[in-house]
């Protein structure tokens, strides 16, 4: 298949592009490289050194003989996107190209507006490009489990059957997002569903849990193919942040009680889930939703796991419950359904001590790159 990976220079997009290329697909990366610029804005960095996109794809071709085309530009520039669709003629469009940090979207008005404008308008441009230039192209859109929030009932896969005053209907599952970033994903989902209904577009919304991990079989082939590893209080997700804190012998900072529970998956499962969606496309007019995660943990459980592995490696760190910078329920019910991807063949990589140990060793190898002031939160919801 001819597959565009938008956001293919990023944490999820880069290993996905390599994996799909290895599997024999004709892959192109579309990216505006803004994530690299945001590092400069935040005075932050990836713990792992990251080569330029050009160096990355050239190394991949040198190692495998497979070419990944690159288009550097912005989804919010519709003329650019039109040229990409016209030249490449994609069978599938994998859409990772959005501002993905909840804290970043909560910094101030400017960052909230940027997040929603970038994400929602860019996604609308993709929908119009598919309608006008590639009507059979399958949109594989990265959503988030954070769209659902933490309801006091089980979270279904996109839809729920409701009985009200003697009548029944199957409706989109209610959304309770927890940041302006998560709200942008909800708006995307509504726009995609509407486009499927009126234009007959085929789309799969992958409501992904929090991704942990670093390496895939493809990124391990050469240091130039390194994936990025974020650790700061803005882009660093809980597990990755704890591992980086342990590597520099900093207390593991748990927000609030630590009882907040979220869905997680390994980066190796992210790339496989995208492949499954691509090879089993939605029908024309279908807005299909997969809950893309493999396990769920409380924040405190993650900190305990990292503390245990660190101790086995000779590193003693304490767990520090700090005031929660977010506005969120800390003691809540959490149970979510995730059967559709498993039914299509997903075999999960689970969070083992060995996975944590491997990540911890990587950070230790590069801990001179960790900016210690960045490991604590700097953004508050209020």
- 3 band by pLDDT with thresholds 50, 70 and 90: very high
- 27 band by pLDDT with thresholds 50, 70 and 90: very high
Contacts of 260 (CB under 8 A, 6+ apart): 150, 298, 299, 328, 329, 330, 332
- Mean pLDDT, the chain, rounded, equals 98
* Strand-by-strand arrangement of the 210-212 sheet: 210-212, 261-266, 295-298
Per-residue confidence (pLDDT) for residue 153, from 0 to 100: 98
- Our CA angle for 322, 326, 330, nearest 5°, is 75
Per-residue confidence (pLDDT) for residue 112, from 0 to 100: 98
CB atoms within 10 A of CB 234: 21
Q: Report the candidate in 248, 285, 265 with the shortest Cα–Cα distance to residue 374.
A: 248
Selected catalytic residue, list 185, 300, 305, 340: 185
Per-residue confidence (pLDDT) for residue 81, from 0 to 100: 98
Percent of the chain at pLDDT above 90?
100
Selected catalytic residue, list 19, 104, 148, 181: 181
Per-residue confidence (pLDDT) for residue 331, from 0 to 100: 97
Q: What DSSP character marks residue 119?
A: I
Give, rounded to a whole angstrom, the gap between the first and last alpha carbons of the chain. Answer: 46
- 184 band by pLDDT with thresholds 50, 70 and 90: very high
185 is catalytic: yes
Question: How far is the C-alpha of 314 from the C-alpha of 181, rounded, in Å?
Answer: 38
Per-residue confidence (pLDDT) for residue 126, from 0 to 100: 99
Per-residue confidence (pLDDT) for residue 47, from 0 to 100: 97
pLDDT for 58-107, tens place per residue?
999 999 999 999 999 999 999 999 999 999 999 999 999 999 999 999 99
Question: How far is the C-alpha of 88 from the C-alpha of 3, rounded, in Å?
Answer: 9
Report the b/e string of 131-170 with b at 16+ CB within 10 A: eeebeebbbbbbbbbbbbbbbeeebebbebeeeeeeeeee
Per-residue confidence (pLDDT) for residue 361, from 0 to 100: 97
Burial class of residue 87 in the structure, from the number of CB atoms within 10 Å of its CB (0-12 exposed, 13-18 middle, 19+ buried): exposed
Distance of CA 8 to the CA centre of its chain: 12
Q: What is the mean pLDDT of residues 181-195?
A: 98
Put simply, whether the predicted model's pTM sits higher than 0.95 gets the answer: yes
- Our CA angle for 228, 75, 85, nearest 5°, is 105
Per-residue confidence (pLDDT) for residue 102, from 0 to 100: 98
Selected catalytic residue, list 16, 48, 115, 144: 144
Q: What DSSP character marks residue 121?
A: I
- 274 band by pLDDT with thresholds 50, 70 and 90: very high
Per-residue confidence (pLDDT) for residue 19, from 0 to 100: 98
Phi, psi for residue 69 in degrees, rounded to 5: -70, 150
pLDDT for 224-240, tens place per residue?
999 999 999 999 999 99
Report the b/e string of 88-121 with b at 16+ CB within 10 A: bebbbbbbbbbbbbbbbbbbeeebbebbbebbbe
Per-residue confidence (pLDDT) for residue 74, from 0 to 100: 98
- 381 band by pLDDT with thresholds 50, 70 and 90: very high
**Strands (E) located in the chain:** 2-6, 26-31, 69-72, 92-95, 138-144, 159-164, 167-172, 202-208, 210-212, 252-255, 261-266, 287-292, 295-298, 319-322
Per-residue confidence (pLDDT) for residue 226, from 0 to 100: 98
Per-residue confidence (pLDDT) for residue 280, from 0 to 100: 98
16: tokens are: 């996905």
Q: Report the candidate in 169, 268, 161 with the shortest Cα–Cα distance to residue 212.
A: 268
Transcribe 303-321 into DSSP letters. HHHHHHHHHHTT----EEE
181 is catalytic: yes
pLDDT for 246-266, tens place per residue?
999 999 999 999 999 999 999
Phi, psi for residue 161 in degrees, rounded to 5: -85, 125
């Amino acid at each position: 298949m001819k597959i565009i990976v938008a956001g293919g220079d990023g944490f999820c997009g880069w290993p996905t592009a390599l994996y799909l290329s290895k599997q024999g697909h004709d892959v192109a990366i579309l990216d505006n490289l803004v994530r690299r610029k945001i590092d400069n804005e935040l005075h932050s960095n990836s713990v792992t050194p990251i080569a330029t996109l050009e160096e990355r794809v050239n190394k991949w071709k040198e190692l495998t003989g497979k070419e990944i085309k690159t288009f550097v530009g912005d989804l919010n520039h519709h003329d650019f996107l039109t040229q990409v669709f016209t030249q490449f003629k994609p069978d599938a469009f994998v859409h990772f190209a959005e501002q993905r940090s909840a804290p970043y979207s909560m910094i101030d008005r400017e960052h909230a507006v940027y997040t929603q404008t970038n994400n929602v308008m860019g996604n609308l441009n993709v929908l119009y490009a598919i309608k006008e230039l590639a009507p059979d192209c399958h949109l594989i859109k990265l959503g988030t489990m954070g769209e659902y929030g933490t309801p006091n009932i089980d979270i279904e896969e996109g839809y729920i059957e409701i009985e009200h005053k003697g009548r029944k209907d199957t409706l989109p599952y209610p959304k309770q997002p927890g940041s302006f970033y998560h709200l942008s994903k909800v708006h995307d989902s509504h726009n995609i569903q509407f486009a499927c209904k009126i234009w007959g577009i085929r789309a799969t919304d992958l409501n992904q849990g929090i991704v942990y991990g670093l390496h895939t079989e493809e990124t391990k082939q050469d240091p130039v193919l390194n994936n990025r590893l974020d650790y700061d209080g803005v882009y660093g997700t809980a597990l990755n942040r704890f591992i980086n804190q342990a590597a520099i012998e900093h207390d593991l900072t748990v927000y609030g009680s630590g009882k907040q529970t979220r869905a997680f998956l390994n980066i190796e499962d992210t790339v496989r889930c995208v492949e499954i969606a691509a090879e089993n496309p939605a029908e024309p007019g279908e807005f299909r939703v997969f809950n893309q995660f493999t396990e769920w943990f409380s924040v405190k459980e993650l900190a305990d796991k990292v503390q245990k592995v660190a101790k086995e490696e000779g590193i003693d760190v304490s767990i520090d419950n700090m005031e929660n910078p977010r506005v969120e329920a800390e003691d809540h019910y959490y149970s979510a359904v995730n059967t559709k991807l498993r039914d299509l063949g997903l075999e999960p990589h689970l969070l083992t001590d060995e996975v944590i140990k491997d990540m911890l060793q990587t950070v230790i190898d590069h801990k001179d790159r960790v900016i210690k002031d960045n490991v604590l939160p700097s953004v508050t919801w209020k």
